[in-house]
Amino acid sequence: MKYKRILLKLSGEALMGNKGFGIDQERLMEYAAEIKDAYDAGCQVAIVIGGGNIFRGIQAEKGGMDRVHGDYMGMLATVINSMAIQSALEGLGVQTRLQSAIKMEQICEPFIRRKAVRHLEKGRVVIFGAGTGNPYFTTDSAAALRAIEIEANVIMKGTRVDGIYTADPEKDPSATKYDNISFDEVYSKGLEVMDLTAFTLCKENNLPIIVFDMNKKGNLQNLLKGEKVGTIVEA
């Protein structure tokens, strides 16, 4: 297997499936099945999931809400999604532990780095909820931070596009996909991979980022086998 320990970043919006809001049970089970395949193959999997299917702090600010207040609500949304993924995985017989950056001891463990690593070593999927626990940071930043903390080999960002393109493929049909690209090139071309805080964390810590289509069955497994899927950003 090419990667022994991965941090899988999933978007909250993707969990909506074709619904306008919330969690689509079918999509949730599809994701859980993909993750189970990676887990069964012996990969140590940690997960960070966004909360945009339930609440977005930035949009709430546009509606007049205090940004910090909105961001905390967004963090709670990620915990709901994390619990959903946890339940779906356990339904498939995958052992999991959920750790939250904001203490909610009735629901999950607090984030403790050494414990998270121990869980991974013992063959448990670890889900990190509540982002970084701080406002003004995205769940991409949380994913980058946690990936570095647990010394993941790579951060895999599951999206609905199959990689990084020269331009937005949904707007520009002539856009072409990169198989691999350097951190510097992403930066100099102004390509949107992650927000700059998350991206810089990855670059400075030499953590490769793979952007791939999580909605295509088998992609995660194929990545673990070392096949070319999506786009890899590395030094």
List interacting residues with ligand GTP (CB under 6 A).
97, 105-110, 118, 122
The CB-of-157 to ligand GTP minimum distance in angstroms stands at 26
The CB-of-131 to ligand GTP minimum distance in angstroms stands at 18
* 3-class DSSP assignment, residue 126: strand
Question: In this structure, are residues 213 and 158 in contact, taking their beta carbons and an 8 Å threshold?
Answer: yes
Q: Which is nearer to ligand GTP, 47 or 209 (CB)?
A: 47
Query: What span, in angstroms and rounded, lies between the C-alpha atoms of 90 and 203?
Result: 34
Q: Which is nearer to ligand GTP, 106 or 188 (CB)?
A: 106
Q: What is the DSSP letter of 65?
A: -
Q: Which two tokens stand for residue 70?
A: 């909105």
Question: In this structure, are residues 201 and 182 in contact, taking their beta carbons and an 8 Å threshold?
Answer: no
The CB-of-33 to ligand GTP minimum distance in angstroms stands at 22
Q: Which is nearer to ligand GTP, 58 or 107 (CB)?
A: 107
The CB-of-143 to ligand GTP minimum distance in angstroms stands at 21
Query: What span, in angstroms and rounded, lies between the C-alpha atoms of 177 and 137?
Result: 28
The CB-of-78 to ligand GTP minimum distance in angstroms stands at 16
Q: Which is nearer to ligand GTP, 129 or 163 (CB)?
A: 129
Alpha helices in the chain (DSSP H): 25-40, 57-62, 67-91, 113-121, 139-149, 183-188, 196-204, 219-224
Q: Which is nearer to ligand GTP, 109 or 234 (CB)?
A: 109
Q: Which two tokens stand for residue 218?
A: 């088998």
* 3-class DSSP assignment, residue 160: coil
